Amino acid sequence: HCQGQDYKNPTNVMCAKALGTFHSLLSEVMLPQILWYKCVYSSAGPNPETDDSAGAGRKILSEVAAEIKMGKRLKHPPVRPPLDCIDYAHYLSYFWANDERTRDALGVKNGTVDEWVRCQDGGVPYTKDLASSIKYHQNVTANGYRALVYR
């Protein structure tokens, strides 16, 4: 129905309807990885006052919830995706990286890093794929910078 039509401004009613259906279906696809379930975030972050699942059965999240109640609120807690979302591991990594025991184990000196946040939120328009980033991490750490690398 759209042969020769401008997809942004179709003049044919059938084409406009077909494009509307296409865009509606496309909105259900997670574009960076079309085989993964598309996550729809349901919460602005864990709130132990109103959300009993903030701990989700995980000890570290329960402890973070207790810290939040005590006034030690984390500055940039991520949005909590559904448990079956691929980004749930990224959500957990924030709490893991900001846990004092993790920092102790990594040898992070008290007061040197206020808060760990993920540097990539999925919105970066990559132009090429790397098989390995090891040489880049070696370069960064050889120049005196620290890197927290996890998978």
CA angle 88, 93, 95 (to 5 degrees): 105
Q: Residues 14-28: pLDDT tens digits?
A: 999 999 999 998 888
CA distance linking residue 96 with residue 74, whole number of Å: 12
Instruction: Please tell me the total count of domains within the chain.
Output: 2
Q: Residues 95-134: pLDDT tens digits?
A: 888 888 888 888 888 888 788 877 655 566 667 777 788 8
Say whether both 37 and 107 belong to one domain: yes
Q: Does the residue 87 lie in any domain?
A: yes
Q: Provide the residue range defining the domain that includes 101.
A: 32-124
Q: Residues 31-51: pLDDT tens digits?
A: 777 877 777 654 334 444 434
- Six-digit token string for 64: 């973070």
Cα torsion 80, 85, 87, 91: sign:
positive
Q: pLDDT above 90 covers what percent of the chain? A: 8
> Coil, strand or helix: which one is 80?
strand
